[in-house]
Structure 1
Amino acid sequence: MGGETEHLGVERVGATLVLTLNRPEAKNALSLPMLVGLYDGWLAADADDDIRSVVLTGAGGAFCAGMDLKALAGDGMGDQYRDRLKADPDLHWKAMLRHHRPRKPVIAAVEGHCVAGGTEILQGTDIRVAGESATFGLYEVRRGLFPIGGSTVRLARQIPRTHALEMLLTGRPYPAAEAARIGLIGHVVPDGTALAKALEIAEAVNANGPLAVEAVKASVYDTAAMTEADGLAHELEHGWPVFDTADAKEGARAFAEKRPAVFRRA
């Protein structure tokens, strides 16, 4: 299946593509095979009209402990991965959702460590669920480093600036309950159930009109940095075409006939 590598699992669950970071012995720290698989997974999801959402999770009770610089060097990982990075020097950033925004909704299912690069990837997802023992944080300044995966730009746009700066400047860990309180994640669930909750949310998304869902997501992100007046004008460019689709007519018919809608992306 598109995107699967030795460090990234790929599975279809109904209309959802599940991407699993799979280096549990290293708390799923990022490696070159993982990043190549992730980028290919995002592309595969957007290219397949039968996929309506993506869930990103980690194996072995962890989400992602950040960059593994040795593993990113690609030693022993095969020329195909190094060649991909040489051909596209931005591939790792796109894999981490810094330079790339999937068309389909992305739901994060977090257990355990989600720190440094893990928290940076998290900011590229749309909906976020975490087990109650999950830990978040941007540890880079503790090591004299810079969180260059986009956090100095995105975090203060997603949570209040005072919380964003505290997370960025202290480098301290944040338990799941606090991460939810400041708005970094949306749901805290019992440990071991984050994936099930994420799939439940994905199923609710998948039941809706896919053209409408994708247009809504695009509008939210495209208008985020606009003034309200400009954003409202731009919203119409995403919204009006949806009303002309066969799916919109099917939604109205299904409502009138008191039955589930059958959307065909048309």
Structure 2
Amino acid sequence: MGGTEHLTVHREGATLVLTLNRPEAKNALSPAMLVGLYDGWTEADEDDSVRSIVFTGAGGSFCAGMDLKALAGQGMAGDTYRDRLKADPDLHWKAMLRHHRPRKPVIAAVEGYCVAGGTEMLQGTDIRVAGESAVFGLFEVRRGLFPIGGSTVRLPRQIPRTHALEMLLTGRPYTAREAADIGLVGHVVPDGTALEKALEIAEQVNACGPLAVEAVKASVYEAAELTETDGLAAELARGWPVFDTADAKEGSRAFAEKRPPRFKRA
């Protein structure tokens, strides 16, 4: 199991938990964090015993965005991390879920600040839980910058366009309740319990057939870029093979026998 000084990795049953771990900087992104994230997504993709991923931050914050000083290597150790970023110029975008979509469901557990690059990474997750005091926002335009982590493309596809444009063009902060009202997050829970709720959802995902779960996730994202007719055809292409799996037969048998299913990814 991987991890770096700014990104911890641990297992909770079939869930891989990735935790941004630079609380003194509100988990602003650093080379060590980006490399750790990339390795974490890769581990989850390659390990069939991982059924879901929970993505969170340590110290009461999710992520305050990019730390430009750290990314430039000023005042921080970590030549190995910078060498890896140079060797793969796309690594940071994969780490931030701009150029990579994990095949397992990703559940975000947000406390505190989730702004700029934090809100951009959030858009690469599938299910989102926020503590009541969480703060969201794309502040880039207030600094004369552009939210280049994918927000001008993804945000209008995930929430109504008028809300997406207001968030993008005003650069103002949003409360957790506002984020839920516009559909950016799905759950608002008492502060300090976002991770607990995310793990509860992960357990519900983990109890389902893994082949079915992964096929459903892939179908949803694939269909989003297709016409309805093409999307329905693509759904059949992904869905019918699931019915032929041993897991599908086990699920039906377990239901008839009134017991929990024992899925084997087969």
Query: TM range, normalised to the smaller chain?
Result: over 0.9
- Residue in 2 that maps onto 1:220: 220
Quote the offset at 1:74 in angstroms.
2.9
Supply the distance in 2 between the matched residues of 1:156 and 1:145 (Cα, whole angstroms): 19
SS at match of 1:20: strand
Query: CA offsets, 1:6-46, max 9 Å, x none?
Result: 00010100000000000000000000000000010000011
Q: Is the 8 A contact 1:63 1:113 kept in 2?
A: yes
Structure 1 segment 223-262 matched on structure 2, within 5 A? 223-262=223-262
Identity %: 84
Query: SS in structure 2 opposite 1:36?
Result: helix
Structure 1: gaps spanning 5 or more residues? none
Partners of 1:85 and 1:117 lie apart in 2 by: 17
Q: Which residue of structure 1 lines up, in the alignment, with residue 201 of structure 2? A: 201
Q: How does 1:102-251 map to 2 (within 5 A)?
A: 102-251=102-251
SS in 2 for 1:12: strand
- Farther off after superposition, 139-148 or 82-91: 82-91
* Distance across 2 between alignment mates of 1:169 and 1:134: 21
- The letter for the 2-side match of 1:198 is A
Structure 1 equivalent of residue 38 of structure 2: 39
User: Is the Cα–Cα contact under 8 Å of residues 133 and 175 in structure 2 kept in the other structure?
Assistant: yes
Shift, 1:179, TM fit: 0.2
Coordinate RMSD, CA, aligned: 0.6
**Unaligned stretches of 5+ in structure 2?**
none
Give the C-alpha shift of residue 79 in structure 1: 2.1
Task: Say whether the 8 Å CA contact 2:105–2:126 is kept in structure 1.
Answer: yes
- The one-letter code sitting in structure 1 at the alignment partner of 2:48 is D
Amino acid at match of 1:93: W
Does the 8 Å CA contact 1:11/1:19 hold for their aligned counterparts? yes
**Following the alignment from structure 2 to structure 1, what is the Cα–Cα distance between the partners of residues 261 and 206?**
12
Alpha-carbon distance in 1 for matches of 2:223, 2:73: 38
- Any idea what SS the aligned residue of 1:183 has? coil
Match of 1:60 in 2: 59
Aligned partner of 2:79 in structure 1 is 79
CA distance in 2, matches of 1:144, 1:195: 34
Instruction: Give the letter aligned to residue 24 of structure 2.
Output: E
Mapped partners of 1:166, 1:5: distance in 2: 36
- CA drift of 1:82 comes to 1.3
Contact 1:74 1:81 in 2 (8 A): no
Give the TM-score of the pair, scaled to structure 1: 0.99
Q: Does the CA-based 8 Å contact 1:62-1:114 persist in structure 2? A: yes
Q: Does 1:97 align with 2:97?
A: yes
8 A contact 2:20–2:62 mirrored in 1: yes
Amino acid at match of 2:30: S
Note if 1:21 corresponds to 2:20.
yes
Partner residue in 2 for 1:70: 69
Q: CA deviation at 1:113?
A: 0.2
Contact 1:33 1:77 (8 Å CA) reproduced: no
* Cα deviation 1:166-196 (Å, max 9, x = unaligned): 0000000000000000000000000000000
Equivalent residue of 1:218, what SS?
helix
Q: Alpha-carbon deviation of 1:78?
A: 2.2
CA distance in 1, matches of 2:182, 2:73: 37
Distance in 1 (CA, whole Å) between partners of 2:72 and 2:103 is 30
**In the alignment, residue 141 of structure 1 is paired with which amino acid?**
V
Query: Structure 2 length normalisation: TM-score?
Result: 0.99
- Alignment-mate amino acid for residue 57 of structure 2: G
